[in-house]
Structure 1
Amino acid sequence: MPSSQPVDVLPPGAGAGGHASAGAEPAAPSFSPLYQQIKALILRSLQAAEWRPGEAIPSELELAARFKVSQGTVRKAVDELAAENLLVRRQGKGTFVATHHEEQVQYRFLRLAPDQADAMGGSAHRTFLDCRRLRAPADVARALQMKQGEMVVEVRRVLHFAGQPVVLDDIWLPGHLFKGLTADRLSEYRGPMYALFESEFGVRMIRAEEKLRAVVADDDTGALLDVPAGCPLLSVERLAFTYGDQPVELRRGLYRTDRHHYRNELS
């Protein structure tokens, strides 16, 4: 019967006795804590969709037996994944794979906040202006780590808060991951876009990088955001990643900041 006791991980190049082979050049140490190795194994299972968004993962005791480590080691790995919004703990129920259908993570990448607490007026109202397939421009292909000329889906939309247009988004998605995505499908879906991507295309956004700069509105942008040409706007370019640090969305947004501001928490 296999043992369920914790086991140590041997350093690279070590044999059964824990020593490097005779005559081998000593390798530079490349150790990682055991809980980080368990975290990587859980991430691998998430990426392989062994446990789908919204589903419960095995208990800490079951994972400890599976990986032959202590429950404390598993708990530390799960704690980090929960802090990164990849898992969600529910008191008395267990630990679940995070999903963009969860209210607390639906808009976690949208850092826009109203100057007044009630200015958002509830959920955003979306107007989709375009959704088309085209060959990726060079800068988009480079950002998404695609070959130039591969197909992408380009989506253009306006977000309204309290009846006011606030955000103009241009979004590019790898075509092979989003086959069948249309403007009608986007318009019909009532939840957040990332929830649609997760449930219908199997693509979960788990982290993002952003670049911010100040710009001014041109005539076309001004008309869409109901501001005069030359009005200052905040440009937010976001690159979103799924498991394995694979980039799966490039989003360039122009934000009105006359009644809203960009808010981030630093620690």
Structure 2
Amino acid sequence: MDKQLGSPSYRPLYDQIKVLITQSLIGGEWRPGDMIPSEIDLAQRFKVSQGTVRKAIDSLATENILIRRQGKGTFVATHNQDDVKLRFLRLTAENGQKEILQNEFISCIKNKANVHIGKVLEMKAGATTIEVKRLLTFSGRPLIYDHIIVPAAPFKGLNRAKVEESNGSMYSMYESQFGVRMIRAEERIKAVAADAEVAKALGLKEGYPLLSIERVSFTYGDKPMEWRLGLCLTDDHHYMSELE
């Protein structure tokens, strides 16, 4: 979505309503999991037709910001739902077997953003960040070395206890503990060799081939809120992506 949410007047009418609904989400009027007002109520509120509101909601539903539930209404999407809790995690066992995902904590420290992190998170180089390192284990086996950096201000209080309690789903924890919901992510994928630190953590030889997934995740208004580097062991797993 466009980052300039304050002046929607130049947009098509349904897109203006989409921006206004998003502004209400950013402002906290409707929280993740909440039911939003009906199309009729929103049409009266914004003084447009019900069809225009429906088109705006359809667009937000396509972007996984809202969820329609037949016979119940339209709800703000949440990472706490089982079917979306891990929707950004694409590492899948070759045999298709479901696995138990858990954290193994490594570290959580305050740091300063370097030039690259400052650029991708739209913050000044040298600004305070919180840096988390952990292992993700699949049915007890460590498969992903996870390196996460977020801006410190929106995540004040993020610590070891919260990382361990998240039990795999940082996005669910961001949402419930800090009111930050990740809407979408951009990824860059390439093959790399494990350095000494990562090899030791994953129980591999230094130089072992890994899949590197560099991800930037965005909240409402297309604001980048998390940089993440996942270094994945793919001997008997693959990265699965669904294209539309």
Q: TM-score w.r.t. structure 2 length?
A: 0.92
Aligned partners of 1:218, 1:34: CA distance in 2, in Å?
Answer: 52
Matched, 1:192 2:174: no
Give 1:32 deviation, angstroms.
3.3
Q: 1:176 aligns with which of 143, 149, 153?
A: 153
**CA separation of 1:232/1:189 partners in 2, compared to 1, >3 Å: closer, same or farther?**
closer
Quote the residue 2:30 is aligned against.
51
Which of 1 and 2 has greater Rg? 1
Give 1:190 deviation, angstroms.
4.5
Give the alignment of 1:221-240 within 5 angstroms.
221-240=198-217
- The amino acid across from 1:94 in the alignment is G
Quote the residue 1:208 is aligned against.
185
Give 1:228 deviation, angstroms.
2.0
Aligned partners of 1:167, 1:189: CA distance in 2, in Å?
Answer: 16
Matched, 1:121 2:99: yes
Which consecutive residues of structure 1, in runs of 5 or more, have no partner in the other structure?
1-11, 13-30
Quote the residue 1:4 is aligned against.
none
Give the alignment of 1:1-267 within 5 angstroms.
32-118=11-97, 120-122=98-100, 124-190=101-167, 192-267=169-244
3-state SS of the aligned residue for 2:31?
coil
- The amino acid across from 2:94 in the alignment is D
Higher mean alpha-carbon deviation, 181-190 vs 147-156, is at: 181-190
Give 1:133 deviation, angstroms.
0.6
Give 1:33 deviation, angstroms.
2.5
- The amino acid across from 2:108 in the alignment is C
Aligned residue pairs total 236
3-state SS of the aligned residue for 1:103?
coil
Quote the residue 1:19 is aligned against.
none
After superposition, give the CA deviation of every residue in 1:188-217 in whole Å (9 maximum; x if it has no partner).
Answer: 344721111111111111111111111011
Which consecutive residues of structure 2, in runs of 5 or more, have no partner in the other structure?
1-8
Aligned partners of 2:54, 2:77: CA distance in 1, in Å?
Answer: 17
- The alignment's C-alpha RMSD in Å is 1.4
Aligned partners of 1:260, 1:63: CA distance in 2, in Å?
Answer: 46
Aligned partners of 2:46, 2:233: CA distance in 1, in Å?
Answer: 50
Contact 1:169 1:253 in 2 (8 A): yes
Contact 2:145 2:202 in 1 (8 A): yes
Moved over 4 A (4+): none
**CA separation of 1:32/1:188 partners in 2, compared to 1, >3 Å: closer, same or farther?**
closer
- The amino acid across from 1:56 in the alignment is M
Higher mean alpha-carbon deviation, 66-75 vs 49-58, is at: 66-75
3-state SS of the aligned residue for 1:105?
coil
3-state SS of the aligned residue for 1:197?
helix
Give 1:168 deviation, angstroms.
0.5
3-state SS of the aligned residue for 1:104?
coil
